[in-house]
Amino acid sequence: MAKEGETPVPDQTRGAEALREDLPKVLQRRTLEEAGWCQPDLLTLLIPLFAQRDGQTTDFFLLRLYFNCYPIWPPSAQFINPQTLKYVVSVDKKWLPKIEGSPEIAVHDNYSNQGIQLICSSVTLEFYQVGHSVKPEHIWDEKHQNFSATLAAIRHGLTQSFYKGPQEARS
Amino acid sequence: MNQKVEHDDDVANDNHEHPSVEFVYLNTNAEVKFHAKWDEKLSLIWDNAYNELHEIRRPNDLLECQSGDSLMLHLELTLQGLRERKICKARKFQIRSETGGA
């Protein structure tokens, strides 16, 4: 079980099994194709997300979930460049959403100059890997959460109340 | 936990004596559908949803319409009150747990 201050330990076999078990629960009656998702390997999901700003402009983002420490810890969550399927600090900032004013989530393009993207929310793996402070009631609970919680938190951050556009202009 | 929602479209039947309500538990994406009463308060129906979901309420749980609009200021309203105010008319709700971060 996840605990504040502990370092997540990868277990790819367990992660793949847990993803295989949880994927139908999160998809409900849909297939991967119907949901528009892609699973390039046993530990990875690519999920397109759309966010609307100004009531008219819709922006596209690609979220990569990686389940190497799952389900003890939440999945790794990273916004990636849809052309390279990677995130490179200082190059791919335009593929990150700007989320402002939410007490629950933010997206840092280069967290504390450590060279990593951080979707700062207690339902992402990176949140624990950087040793972010966390209230007890927010700690990941594998018995009552699966990666649906991660998606719900990110989608909530992309609602019009908080979403302010890509972090850098797209040409 | 994973009782499936039957898509029989009767959720829109406002004339039913015991209107159906739907809940999605966003922590797991589990769905339940059950019947409530028009004079039941939303807070009670929310409690019943946890029983149906076989989940317990977390201190940071929030009740929303599936549109994403918060219902936390309307918990004392009955289903009838929600209907009269045209709030979450389809009676499709979601339970979201607040997260830490930012």
pLDDT above 70 covers a percentage of chain A that reads: 100
- The domain spans of chain A are 12-166
At residue A97, φ and ψ (nearest 5 deg) are: -80, 145
- The domain spans of chain B are 17-97
Beta carbons within 8 Å of A101's beta carbon, 6+ residues apart:
A161, A162
Q: Cα dist. B61→A149, B50, B72, B87, B95 in Å?
A: 12, 11, 10, 20, 7
Chain B partners of A103 at a C-beta cutoff of 8 Å? 102
Query: Which residue from B minimizes the CA distance to A122?
Result: B100
**pLDDT above 70 for B8:** no
pLDDT above 90 covers a percentage of chain B that reads: 77
Give Cα A29 to chain centroid, integer Å.
Answer: 22
Backbone dihedral region for residue A120 (phi beyond 0: left; psi -120 to 50: alpha; all else: beta): beta
**pLDDT above 90 for B3:** no
Question: Could you report the per-residue pLDDT of B15-63, keeping only the tens digit for each?
Answer: 678 899 999 999 999 999 999 999 999 999 999 999 999 999 988 999 9
Full-model pTM: 0.92
Question: Which run of H or E residues covers position A156?
Answer: helix A147-157
ipTM value for the complex: 0.92
Contact B96 A123 (CB under 8 A): no
Structural class in CATH, domain A12-166: alpha beta
Measured between alpha carbons, how far is B27 from A98 in angstroms, rounded to an integer? 24
Q: Facing residues of A41 across strands? A: A44
- Determine the distance in angstroms separating the CA of B98 from the nearest CA of chain A, rounded to an integer: 7
Looking at residue A92, the DSSP 8-state letter turns out to be S
Question: Could you report the per-residue pLDDT of A21-77, keeping only the tens digit for each?
Answer: 999 999 999 999 999 999 999 999 999 999 999 888 999 999 999 999 999 999 999
pLDDT at B15: 67
Q: Are strands A118-120 and B30-35 parallel, antiparallel or unpaired?
A: unpaired
**pLDDT above 60 for B79:** yes
Q: Which residue in the set A127, A145, A159 is minimally distant from B101, CB to CB? A: A127
Contact B99 A122 (CB under 8 A): yes
CATH classification code of B17-97: 3.10.20.90
**pLDDT above 50 for B11:** no
**pLDDT above 50 for B4:** no
